[in-house]
């Protein structure tokens, strides 16, 4: 038999390769076991069990670590209770390796405290006996478990890799984002979105100082950001979808595989957002406040919306009708067939089911001119009907050629463009708007900084709702990432957004109120001493920011933004309003804020 050295060497290496593959496979199994314990409270032998506060034991999902330490493992603060980070970077870091979880001043110093690195043995004591690395008893709120050595090994392995590496799309100097634009967005709105995002990215990067750049900083950063060097440049990809919605998922997957991004930032659609929503849920990619009329119906922990869109309007409309002394006998909904119109009509029908109010739909025919299609739909209504129009401005304008047939009509403020809805005088007298925005007087104060920024950047105001949403989304992302320092993990971004939004809105509102007051005094000086005493930039700010010292409720066009764990719609209310005059944008509130 001939000796073949190549075959001989391969015969020696193959068992080694097989062993290595088996080790990798075995570690993957252990990691999955650890994840199930951490996130689901599931053991190989059954449910995870624990005791806490001397009360009845908890088990299963109620005993899972994720309930307190969150999906990222970065912990949280609830009132006076600080739940510490338990990722590998924090549990096992060397004493001199100072780790900071957040710069949020509301979490307190104890959240970022240092300790000796845990070992497998001391971590087991903390988990099973409730004894910290310092030998002190942990909080009574920390469950006491009874994990066996195999289960402890799996959980420890999972914790060592949890939030240990930056998420895809992140490097030491750059965070990559994408914005998604669906093909139904008209060219003007598409251009506005792209121009605004590129302008904000350029401004942000022009004053960002990374670890490898020497540059003059033009904005304030925290001491921790400066010392730790956690600032990063932002990079923007445009993901413009084509074709039918059924193909969008594959397009998104292909783009993501080609160039992963940390998050989808802003974005726009006039039809469905469901394929984008589903993509983000599958890939665990945060989707950060897109401008959409009909958000997806299934909730994902990774997708944030400003509001529920037309679904919020439907719920508010139902609440309004049911609160009347005499409810109508029938509501007729008039809309164009499409994702948004159908979603609005179906939601209102469902909300009124069982109420005794009949609901009928009239879908506009696409083969007829708008006026003829509207006239045909209205011919099927009676004067005593309440009409609910889910129409965009072109169709609203076409109504002007038709004499109203009902004594009461309502329009979607979101679709018709609120006070800018081109509603003719003969319709205004008997029509109201379901209005998901802050009332105009308060909203003007909330959007002071936004309008100053537009003016200073010489950007046109084309669509106040969408443009102010983009402005907020990017500013909120800036604030959230700055507060996260170097912990650039997607799950942590989601968790910090839930915690930060209400606090941030309060702080920003107070600051902008103080700014308006100060600029108001400056305006008095301008009147007294003349324009020559002040620069052009100051005059621009005064013209937009002059106002009283009353407290604004927020910084967006919405009544109030807030989030909590598992909440994904930041604005939760709407008004019923009507036009004050036969012409002009002035509105009068017919209801207080309705939170369905």
Q: Is the pLDDT confidence value at 21 over 80?
A: no
Query: In the prediction, which pLDDT does 139 show?
Result: 86
Q: Which CATH class is domain 174-211+221-304?
A: alpha beta
- Please tell me which residue, 401 or 18, carries the higher pLDDT value: 401
pLDDT digits over 259-294, tens only? 999 999 999 999 999 999 999 999 999 999 999 999
pLDDT digits over 159-187, tens only? 999 999 999 999 999 999 999 999 999 99
CATH number of 310-435+575-589: 3.40.50.2300
d(CA 118, CA 155): 14
Q: Is the pLDDT confidence value at 235 over 50?
A: yes
Q: Are 56 and 79 in contact (CB under 8 A)?
A: no
Measured between alpha carbons, how far apart are the two ends of the chain, in Å?
85
Q: How confident is the model at residue 533 (pLDDT cuts 50, 70, 90)?
A: very low
Q: What is the pTM assigned to this prediction?
A: 0.86
d(CA 509, CA 564): 19
Instruction: Please list the residue range(s) of the chain that carry CATH number 3.40.50.2300.
Output: 174-211+221-304, 310-435+575-589
Task: Report, in this order, helix, strand and coil percent for the chain, each rounded to 5.
Answer: 45, 15, 40
Q: How confident is the model at residue 97 (pLDDT cuts 50, 70, 90)?
A: confident
d(CA 114, CA 99): 8
- Residue 372 CB coordination number (10 Å): 15
- Checking 41-44 for CB contacts under 8 A at 24+ apart, the result is 43/147, 43/151, 44/151
Which residue from 125, 128, 230 is spatially nearest to 172, judged by alpha carbons? 230
pLDDT digits over 477-493, tens only? 999 999 899 999 999 99
* Angle CA 77–78–80, to nearest 5: 90
* Max CA distance (Å), the chain: 109
- Please tell me which residue, 465 or 532, carries the higher pLDDT value: 465
pLDDT digits over 243-259, tens only? 999 999 999 999 999 99
Q: Is the pLDDT confidence value at 216 over 90?
A: no
d(CA 486, CA 224): 10
């Amino acid at each position: 038999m001939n000796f073949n050295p190549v075959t001989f060497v391969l015969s020696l290496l193959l068992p080694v390769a097989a062993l290595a593959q088996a080790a990798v496979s075995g570690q993957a199994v252990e990691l999955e076991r650890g994840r199930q314990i951490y996130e689901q409270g599931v053991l190989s032998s059954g449910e995870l069990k624990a005791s806490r506060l001397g009360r009845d034991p908890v088990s299963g999902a109620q005993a899972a670590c994720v309930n307190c330490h969150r999906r990222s493992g970065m912990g949280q603060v609830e009132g006076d209770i600080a739940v510490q980070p338990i990722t590998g970077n924090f549990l096992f870091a060397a004493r001199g390796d100072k780790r900071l979880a957040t710069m949020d001043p509301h979490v307190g110093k104890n959240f970022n405290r240092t300790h000796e690195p845990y070992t497998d043995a001391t971590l087991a004591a903390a988990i099973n006996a409730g004894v910290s690395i310092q030998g002190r008893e942990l909080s009574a709120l920390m469950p006491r478990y009874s994990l066996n050595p195999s289960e402890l090994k799996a959980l420890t392995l999972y914790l060592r890799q949890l939030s240990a590496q930056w998420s895809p799309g992140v490097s030491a100097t750059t965070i990559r984002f994408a914005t998604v634009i669906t093909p139904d967005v008209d060219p003007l709105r598409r251009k506005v979105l792209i121009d605004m995002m590129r302008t904000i990215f350029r401004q942000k990067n022009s004053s960002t100082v990374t670890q490898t750049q020497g540059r003059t900083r033009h904005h304030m950063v925290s001491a921790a950001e400066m010392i730790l060097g956690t600032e990063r440049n932002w990079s923007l990809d445009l993901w413009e979808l084509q074709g039918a919605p059924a193909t969008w998922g594959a397009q998104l997957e292909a783009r993501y595989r080609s160039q992963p991004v940390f998050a989808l930032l802003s974005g726009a659609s006039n039809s469905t957002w469901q394929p984008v929503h589903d993509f983000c849920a599958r890939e665990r990619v945060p989707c950060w406040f897109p401008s959409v009329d009909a958000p997806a119906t299934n909730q994902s922990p990774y997708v944030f919306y400003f509001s529920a869109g037309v679904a919020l309007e439907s719920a508010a409309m139902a609440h309004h009708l049911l609160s009347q002394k005499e409810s109508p006998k029938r509501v007729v909904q008039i809309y164009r067939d499409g994702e948004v119109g159908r979603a609005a009509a179906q939601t209102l029908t469902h909300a009124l089911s069982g109420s005794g109010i009949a609901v009928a739909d009239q879908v506009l025919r696409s083969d007829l001119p708008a006026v003829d299609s509207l006239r045909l739909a209205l011919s099927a209504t009676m004067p005593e009907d309440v009409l609910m129009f889910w129409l965009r401005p072109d169709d609203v304008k076409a109504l002007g050629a038709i004499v109203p047939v009902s004594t009461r009509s309502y329009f979607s403020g979101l679709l018709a463009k609120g006070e800018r809805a081109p509603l003719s005088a003969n319709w205004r007298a008997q029509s109201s708007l379901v209005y998901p925005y802050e009332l105009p007087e308060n909203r003007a104060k909330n959007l002071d900084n936004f309008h100053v920024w537009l003016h200073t950047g010489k950007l046109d105001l084309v669509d106040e709702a969408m443009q102010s949403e983009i402005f907020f989304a990017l500013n909120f992302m800036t604030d959230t990432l700055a507060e996260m320092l170097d912990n650039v993990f997607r799950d942590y971004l989601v968790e910090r957004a839930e915690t930060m939004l209400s606090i941030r809105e309060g702080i920003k509102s107070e600051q902008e109120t103080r700014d308006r007051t100060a600029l108001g005094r400056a305006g008095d000086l301008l009147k007294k001493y003349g324009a020559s005493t002040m620069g052009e930039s100051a005059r621009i700010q005064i013209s937009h920011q002059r106002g009283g010292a009353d407290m604004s409720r927020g910084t967006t066009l919405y009544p109030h933004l807030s989030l909590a764990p598992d909440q994904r719609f930041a604005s939760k209310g709407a008004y019923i309003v009507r036009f004050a005059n036969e012409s002009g944008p002035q509105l009068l509130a017919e209801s207080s804020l309705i939170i369905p």
